[in-house]
Amino acid sequence: MSRSCRVVPAILTDNPQALARMVRQAENFTDFVQIDIMDGRFVPSNSIVCNDIAVVEPQLGWEAHLMVRQPEEHLHCFVMAGARKIVFHLEATSSPLRTVRLIRQLGAKVGLAVKPETPLSTTLSFADAVDSILFLTVHPGFYGAKFLPEVLEKVAEMRARRPCVEIGVDGGIKEGNIAEVAALGLDHVCVGSAILMQPDPAEAFRRLQALVDRATRARKQ
């Protein structure tokens, strides 16, 4: 199956002013971002909250990556703030399918995120119920966390077993490994510090997208 792969800037911060700055920067070079939400319980860190995003009023498309316990309690706020997709963690709720139904009832797309240690067999059992699968290639919660290459084996197997499902990866992606990751046949790669913590985020984004495009073309040949 022929597919393209896009780089999605991932915004992670606990500072509302930094959120506004990163959103405004991203509006100059992309039309879609991921905004990471952390509750200090599911992951060790806290982040900005839904109301902070509503105040910024992003002028681009965005998805909320909810690294929070009981994500079903937070859905309405993020959809009302403008999220096109809600990405929640399989490990964060006792009722994944109920969470999927609630998101769809609110009119948003559904993404399922999985931690590095989650078995692929568990992920596969929910793959047909959601719009996309997001494999975390780090232990979540911080910019700059260590990339875990062993997750790529799960990504490759998911692509082989579900050739039509939308697949992304998130965490520890940089210029040195993004081509290897994109070559697995991904639909999107979420990149945080390697874009938004760089002196020129727009140029960093363009370099990474060029590397992804080259890897994707090579895979098609």
Catalytic residues: 36, 170
Question: Dihedral (C-alpha) 200, 201, 203, 207: value to the nearest 10 degrees?
Answer: 130
CA distance 71 to 73: 5
CA distance 203 to 29: 9
Q: Per-residue DSSP letters for 169-216? A: EESS--TTTHHHHHTTT-SEEEESHHHHTSSSHHHHHHHHHHHHHHHH
The token duo for 62 is 């965005």
* Those residues with Cβ within 8 angstroms of residue 159's Cβ, 6 or more apart along the chain or in another chain: 167, 184, 185, 186
The token duo for 215 is 């890897």
